[in-house]
Amino acid sequence: MTTSARAFFYVQQVEQLVRRRIDECLQPEGITAGQYMVLNLVVHHEPVSSADLARRANMTAQSMGEFIKSLEAKGWIARTGDPVNRRVIPVSSTTAGKAVLVRSEAKVDQAERDFFQVLDGEEVASLRFMLSRVRTAELARRADPPASRRAA
C-alpha cells in the first residue's frame, strides 16, 4: 500500500467537485452539468449526429440519447432528418438553446475563476496544459489498443 494518495483519486474527487460546482451555478438556468456539456457540444459542432456527440463526450449512445431527449423536451435542441442518409438524424441548437448556453457560459466562467482562485494564472494554464496532454494521450491509446487487446 502506498503512503500517498493516487493521482486517480485526486482527479476523481476534483471531477466530482467540479460537477457539483457547475450544477450549483447552473441550477437557476434549469440545466445540469451534463446537459450543459452536451448543449455546448451541439452548438459548437452542429448539425451533428447523436453518435458523433457520444464519441465527443466519451459516453455511450444510450446515455447521449437521454441527454438529447431532455434537451429537446426543454426546446434547446431540435432533431431534423438528413435527406441524404435517413438513418442519421442531425441535432442542432435552437435560438432558446443558444441563449441558455450564453447565459450558462458566463456563470461557468465565474464558477471556474472562483474554483481555481487558489492558483495563479500560470498555474491554471499549466494545469490546463497537463490535463489536455493526459486526455489526448489516453484518447489516442483507446483509439489504437495494443495488439494483445485487439486479438481478444
User: Domains of the chain, with CATH numbers?
Assistant: 15-117 (1.10.10.10)
Above 70 in pLDDT, residue 149? no
Q: Which residue has the cell 483519486?
A: 9
Question: Taking CA 11 as the corner, what is the angle to CA 141 and CA 62, rounded to the nearest 5 degrees?
Answer: 60
Share of the chain above pLDDT 70, in %: 89
Res. 82: pLDDT tops 70: no
Q: What is the mean pLDDT of residues 116-126?
A: 96
For residues 16-26, give the mean pLDDT. 95
Distance, C-alpha 65 to centroid of its chain: 14
Examine the pLDDT at 147 and tell me if it is beyond 90: no
pLDDT score at 141: 87
Question: What is the chain's mean pLDDT, rounded?
Answer: 89
Name the band, by pLDDT with cuts 50, 70 and 90, for residue 9: very high
- CA 107, CA 54: separation in Å to the nearest integer? 25
In this prediction, residue 88 carries a pLDDT of: 72
pTM above 0.85, yes or no: no
